[in-house]
C-alpha cells in the first residue's frame, strides 16, 4: 500500500520572541501561513522492517539517511505503534534546505499524517502531536497546515480564518544559515536589561483578519506592515549580511512589506498580486547565486492524500 502527499512550505508573517524558558527553548508568537511551494512524498509500506529514503529534486545538502527528519518521523511513529512494518519514503525536494520555510518539518509532518492513514488508529491523535513536537518545534503545525497563530515553543496552534491569499516573492541567498546559530546570536546580543519583545502580534493578527474581510486596501496594507516583523532578523543579518541586503532590495521593488522567514536565510516580500511579484523577481534574479520563487499563501493548504 502506498500514497502520495504534498508537504507545503510556510512563511512566518511576523515572528516575535517573547522570552526564554529555563530549559533553553524560546517562547515565540508567530503567524504561520502555508504556501503553494511544496515537497512531494510517496510512502510505501513494506513487509521487511526498517525505513529507507530515496531523494530527488533540489536536494543538495539534504541528508539521505537517519538524520533526515522524515526518516526520524517514520521511525518514531512505527515505534510508538509497535509496528514491525517497514516503510520506503520517496522524497522529491523543492523547498530549500535550510531555508526558513519549514521544509524538513513539513516532510516530517507529512510522514506522520501519512502513516496515520496507512495504519489507521495505530497512534492516537494526542500521541501524534507529542511525537511531532518531539521532532521539532514547527512539526506540529504541519500535521494540518493552515493559517495559524503559533505560540509557546510551537505546541500552541490557534487556527486563523478569514485571511486572503497573498502573493509573495521568496529569495534565498544561496548560502546556508543554521537555525541554532541564529538563536545563539540572538541570545548573545540580549542582556538582562533588555526585556523580551512585547509587540502587539495578536492584536495585529485580529486587525489583519478584519481588514482582509473589509477589503480596504490602504488599511490592509498598513496592518500587514505592522505585522511583518521578525525579531530574529537582526541576528540573522549579523551572521549573513545578505539577509538585510535582500530585504532592502525587495522593498525597493515595490513590496508592501518584506521580512525574513523563520531563521532564514529566505527573505520574502508581500506584493499586491502575482504579476507584481513576478516583475520584482525578474529584477532581482539578475544577481548570480540567488534562488527565487513567486508563490501564494494558502487559506487552507491542500494536503490531500491519493493512492
Quickly tell me which residue has 502520495 as its cell: 4
Distance of CA 78 to the CA centre of its chain: 25
DSSP letter at 230? B
Instruction: Give yes or no for residue 201 having a pLDDT over 80.
Output: no
Q: What are the angstrom distances between the C-alpha of 69 and each of 85, 97, 118, 247?
A: 19, 12, 19, 29
Confidence of residue 57 (pLDDT cuts 50, 70, 90): very high
What is the reported pLDDT for 305? 33
∠ Cα 202 206 210 (to 5°): 170
Active-site hit among 10, 39, 93, 231: 10
What confidence score (pLDDT) does residue 292 get? 95
Closest CA to 14 of 194, 156, 148: 148
What confidence score (pLDDT) does residue 85 get?
Answer: 93
Cell, residue 22? 529555563
Lowest mean pLDDT, pick from 112-121, 166-175, 206-215: 206-215
Q: Read off the pLDDT of each residue in 260-266 and give the average, rounded to a whole number.
A: 96
Q: 41 - beta bridge partners? A: 5, 91
Residue 10 bears catalytic tag: yes
pLDDT at residue 200 greater than cutoff 70: no
Q: Which residues pair with 269 in a beta bridge?
A: 169, 258
pLDDT score recorded for residue 80: 97
With a cut of 80, say whether residue 266 has pLDDT above it: yes
- Neighbouring-strand partners of residue 297: 35
Q: Convert the pLDDT of each residue in 127-183 to its tens digit.
A: 999 999 999 999 999 999 999 999 998 889 998 887 788 999 999 999 999 999 999
Known active-site residue 107: no
Q: Is the pLDDT of residue 231 over 90?
A: yes
pLDDT of 219 higher than 80: no
- The average pLDDT across 31-57 equals 95
Q: What is the CATH code for 2-159?
A: 3.30.230.10
For the chain, which residues make up each domain, given as ranges? Answer: 2-159, 167-296
Q: Where do we find the cell 540573522?
A: 236
Distance between CA atoms of residues 307 and 293, nearest Å: 29
* Mean pLDDT estimate for the chain: 88
Q: For residue 214, name the pLDDT band (cuts at 50, 70, 90).
A: low
**Cα 268 from Cα 12, distance rounded (Å):** 9
Tell me the three-class secondary structure of the chain, residue by residue. Answer: CEEEEEEEEEEEEEEEEEEECCCCCEEEEEEEEEEEEEEEEEEEEECCCEEEEEEEECCCCCCCCCCCHHHHHHHHHHHHHCCCCEEEEEEEECCCCCCCCCHHHHHHHHHHHHHHHHCCCCCCHHHHHHHHHHHCCCHHHHHCCCCEEEEECCCEEEECCCCCCCEEEEEECCCCCCHHHHHHHHHHHCCCCCCCCCCCHHHHHHHHHHHHHHCCHHHHHHHHHHHCCECCHHHHHHHCCHHHHHHHHHHHCCCCEEEECCCCCCEEEEECCHHHHHHHHHHHCCCCCCEEEEEEECCCCCCCCEC
- φ/ψ of residue 179, rounded to 5: -55, -45
Within 10 angstroms of residue 14's Cβ, the number of other Cβ atoms is 25
Contact 95, 38 (CB under 8 A): yes
The domain 167-296: what is its CATH number?
3.30.70.890
What's the confidence (pLDDT) of residue 298?
82
Q: What is the pTM assigned to this prediction?
A: 0.89
User: From the candidates 39, 93, 107, 138, which is the catalytic residue?
Assistant: 138
The answer, yes or no, to whether residue 191 has pLDDT greater than 80, is: no
Q: What is the pLDDT at residue 100?
A: 94
Q: Does 2-159 match 167-296 in CATH topology?
A: no
Least confident among 67-76, 103-112, 147-156: 147-156
pLDDT at 202 over 60: no
Q: Which three cell numbers stand for residue 114?
A: 501519512
3-state secondary structure of 216: coil
Pick the residue with more confidence: 240 or 222? Answer: 240
CA-CA distance, 212 to 217, in Å (whole number)? 8
pLDDT tops 50 at residue 195: no
Q: Flag the least confident range among 11-15, 184-188, 200-204, 224-228.
A: 200-204
Amino acid at each position: 500500500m502506498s500514497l502520495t502527499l504534498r508537504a507545503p512550505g510556510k512563511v512566518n508573517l511576523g515572528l516575535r520572541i517573547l522570552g526564554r524558558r529555563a530549559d533553553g527553548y524560546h517562547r515565540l508568537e508567530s503567524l504561520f501561513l502555508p504556501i503553494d511551494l511544496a515537497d512531494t512524498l510517496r510512502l510505501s509500506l513494506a513487509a521487511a522492517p526498517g525505513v529507507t529514503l530515496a531523494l530527488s529534486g533540489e536536494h543538495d545538502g539534504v541528508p539521505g539517511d537517519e538524520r533526515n527528519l522524515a526518516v526520524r518521523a517514520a521511525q518514531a511513529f512505527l515505534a510508538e505503534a509497535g509496528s514491525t512494518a517497514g516503510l520506503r519514503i520517496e522524497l522529491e525536494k523543492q523547498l530549500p534546505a535550510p531555508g526558513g520555510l519549514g521544509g524538513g518539518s513539513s516532510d516530517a509532518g507529512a510522514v506522520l499524517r501519512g502513516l496515520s492513514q496507512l495504519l489507521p488508529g495505530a497512534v492516537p491523535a494526542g500521541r501524534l502531536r507529542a511525537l511531532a513536537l518531539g521532532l521539532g518545534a514547527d512539526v506540529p503545525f504541519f500535521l494540518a497546515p493552515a493559517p495559524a497563530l503559533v505560540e509557546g515553543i510551537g505546541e500552541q496552534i490557534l487556527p486563523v480564518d478569514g485571511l486572503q491569499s497573498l502573493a509573495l516573492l521568496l529569495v534565498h541567498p544561496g548560502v546556508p544559515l543554521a537555525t541554532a546559530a541564529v538563536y545563539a546570536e540572538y541570545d548573545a546580543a540580549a542582556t538582562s536589561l533588555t526585556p523580551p519583545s512585547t509587540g502587539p502580534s495578536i492584536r495585529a493578527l485580529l486587525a489583519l483578519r478584519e481588514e482582509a474581510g473589509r477589503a480596504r486596501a490602504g488599511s490592509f496594507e498598513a496592518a500587514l506592515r505592522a505585522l511583518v516583523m521578525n525579531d530574529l532578523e537582526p541576528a540573522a543579518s549579523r551572521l549573513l549580511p545578505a539577509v538585510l541586503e535582500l530585504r532592502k532590495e525587495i522593498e525597493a521593488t515595490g513590496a508592501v512589506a518584506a521580512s525574513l522567514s523563520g531563521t532564514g536565510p529566505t527573505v520574502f516580500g508581500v506584493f499586491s498580486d502575482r504579476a507584481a511579484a513576478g516583475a520584482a523577481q525578474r529584477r532581482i534574479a539578475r544577481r548570480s547565486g540567488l534562488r527565487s520563487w513567486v508563490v501564494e499563501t494558502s487559506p487552507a493548504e491542500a494536503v490531500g492524500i491519493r493512492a
